[in-house]
Amino acid sequence: MKPIAEIFPLLNTAPKQIVITMHQKPDPDAMGSSLGLFHVLTALGHSVTVISPTNWAGFLNWMPGCEKVIDYDYRRPEAEAVLQKAEWIFCLDFNTLSRAKNMAPVIAGLACVKILIDHHQQPEESAFDYGISDTAKSSTSEMVYDFIVNSGNKDKVNIAVAECLYAGVIGDTGSFRFPAATASVHSMVAHLKETGFNHTLVHENIYDNFLENRLRFIGMALLHRMEIMYEYNTALIAISKNDLLKFDIKTGDTEGLVNYPLTIQGIKLAAIVIDRDEERKWSFRSKGDFDTNTFARTYFNGGGHYSASGGRSSDSLDKTIQKFKQSIKENASLLQ
C-alpha cells in the first residue's frame, strides 16, 4: 500500500468516477467521513457516489448528502453498475474487505484504484493501492479532515462538510470524552466552527432523535438483560431476537447501549450480544488496560480498537454467551 499523499496531485487533474464506501451498518463516523469527503471531491469536479454495504440508522438521515447514498443490499443492480465504472474507490472506516459484507467480493474484483483511510488495528494492506492507517487518530472523520487539509483543499470545508465530520468525531470520541480526543481534534473542531455550522443541532440530531420505543427498550435491557459479574469486573447484556421484535428495534437503536455498564464502579469490561438472524453480534468496551481488540480477535472473529471492538458468532445465543463467560475466566487476571 503506497502512501496516500501520492494521490494528492491527482485530485486536481481530470475529473474521475469515484465511489466512496464504508463498513456495513455505518455509524456516525463511517457516514460522516464518507459524506464529508463526498462534498469535497464533488467540489473538485469529480463524479462521486457514496455506497453503503447495508442500510443505516435513521438518525443519520439528516446529514447533508445522505439522501444520495445508495444502499447496496437494497439497490444492488444500481450500485454494481456504478462500481463497475469507478476509477477510484475510497474505503473509509474499515480496513478489511470482509467488513463490507456482500460488497466485499465485488470490491476485491474491481480493477480500479483502491484507497484506504482508516484508524482500526491490523489493516489488510494488500487489498489497497494507496492509503493511510493510523490507530492514534480519534476517528476516520479526523483523518478525512487531515486528507482535505494536507491535499491543499482546506478552503473546500464548508458548513455541509463541517456538519458531517463533526458528527463523526463526536460519535467516535464519545463527545470528546475518550482519550483519542487529542489537541489536534480540538484544533480541527475550532476550524470547523469557523464555517458557522450549528454544533448543538448536530448533537441533537445524533443523540436526541429516537422514538419512544428505544428508550423503553433500553430500560428493559438494563433491568432484565444485564448481568454483572463482579468477580471478573465484567458486565454482559444479552438481547434476544424476541426482544428486538417486541420493541420494534431498528438499525441504530442499540447504538451506545454497551456503554451503560461502564458507568458502574469497578466494571472494566462491558459486552453486549445481540441475536441477529444470520449471526450473533458482539460489542465490547473497556476501561483501563484491558485490550478488547485482542479479546475480540481471539474469541469472536472480530477486532477494532484497544478499548472498543466488535465481534460475531455463528453459535446460538446461549452457546456464545457460554463461550464469553469461559473467555473472561481465562482472562481473569487482566480484569482485576
Locate the DSSP E strands across the chain: 2-3, 17-22, 47-52, 70-71, 88-92, 113-118, 130-133, 226-229, 234-239, 269-275, 280-286, 303-304, 308-313
Predicted local distance difference test score (pLDDT) of residue 201: 96
Predicted local distance difference test score (pLDDT) of residue 171: 93
Question: Is the model's pLDDT at 262 over the cut of 90?
Answer: yes
Question: Is the model's pLDDT at 9 over the cut of 90?
Answer: yes
Q: Where on the phi/psi map is residue 124: left (φ > 0), alpha (ψ -120 to 50), or beta?
A: beta
Q: CA–CA separation, 196 vs 290, rounded Å? A: 40
Going by C-alpha positions, the residue among 140, 137, 134 that lies closest to residue 122 is 134
Are the C-beta atoms of 76 and 52 separated by less than 8 Å? no
Mean of the pLDDT values across residues 242-255? 93
The whole-chain average pLDDT of the chain stands at 95
**Residue 277 confidence class, pLDDT cut points 50, 70, 90:** confident
**Residue 305 confidence class, pLDDT cut points 50, 70, 90:** confident
- Give Rg (Cα) of the chain: 20
**Residue bearing cell 463461550:** 323
Enumerate residues 6+ apart whose C-beta is below 8 A from 203: 170, 175
**Residue 14 confidence class, pLDDT cut points 50, 70, 90:** confident
Question: In the numeric block, which cell numbers belong to residue 238?
Answer: 444479552
Predicted local distance difference test score (pLDDT) of residue 170: 96
Question: In the numeric block, which cell numbers belong to residue 119?
Answer: 484508524
Torsion of CA 129, 130, 135, 137, to 10 degrees: -150
Q: CA–CA separation, 302 vs 129, rounded Å? A: 24
Predicted local distance difference test score (pLDDT) of residue 54: 95
**Residue 329 confidence class, pLDDT cut points 50, 70, 90:** very high
Q: Alpha carbon 274 to chain centroid distance? A: 17
Going by C-alpha positions, the residue among 173, 189, 160 that lies closest to residue 38 is 160
**Residue 139 confidence class, pLDDT cut points 50, 70, 90:** very high
Can you spell out the DSSP letters for 12-62? GSS--EEEEEE-SS--HHHHHHHHHHHHHHHHTT-EEEEEESS---GGGTT
Question: Is the model's pLDDT at 252 over the cut of 90?
Answer: no
Q: CA–CA separation, 157 vs 174, rounded Å? A: 23
Mean of the pLDDT values across residues 310-320? 95
Predicted local distance difference test score (pLDDT) of residue 304: 86
Mean of the pLDDT values across residues 149-171? 97
**Residue 7 confidence class, pLDDT cut points 50, 70, 90:** very high
Q: CA–CA separation, 277 vs 275, rounded Å? A: 7
Are the C-beta atoms of 117 and 131 separated by less than 8 Å? yes
Q: CA–CA separation, 139 vs 204, rounded Å? A: 20
219 membership: H or E segment, kind and range: helix 212-224
Predicted local distance difference test score (pLDDT) of residue 106: 95
Selected residue with higher pLDDT from 228 and 98: 228
pLDDT tens digits along 178-210: 888 999 999 999 999 999 999 999 999 999 999
**Residue 278 confidence class, pLDDT cut points 50, 70, 90:** confident
Mean of the pLDDT values across residues 229-257? 95
Q: CA–CA separation, 238 vs 93, rounded Å? A: 26
Q: Is the dihedral of CA 64, 88, 101, 28 positive or negative?
A: negative
Q: Whole-model pTM?
A: 0.91
Least confident of 110-119, 165-174, 249-258: 249-258
Domains annotated on the chain, with CATH: 2-207 (3.90.1640.10), 213-335 (3.10.310.30)
Predicted local distance difference test score (pLDDT) of residue 179: 87
**Residue 221 confidence class, pLDDT cut points 50, 70, 90:** very high
Predicted local distance difference test score (pLDDT) of residue 114: 97
Predicted local distance difference test score (pLDDT) of residue 121: 87
**Residue 76 confidence class, pLDDT cut points 50, 70, 90:** very high
Q: Alpha carbon 168 to chain centroid distance? A: 9
Q: CA–CA separation, 62 vs 183, rounded Å? A: 28
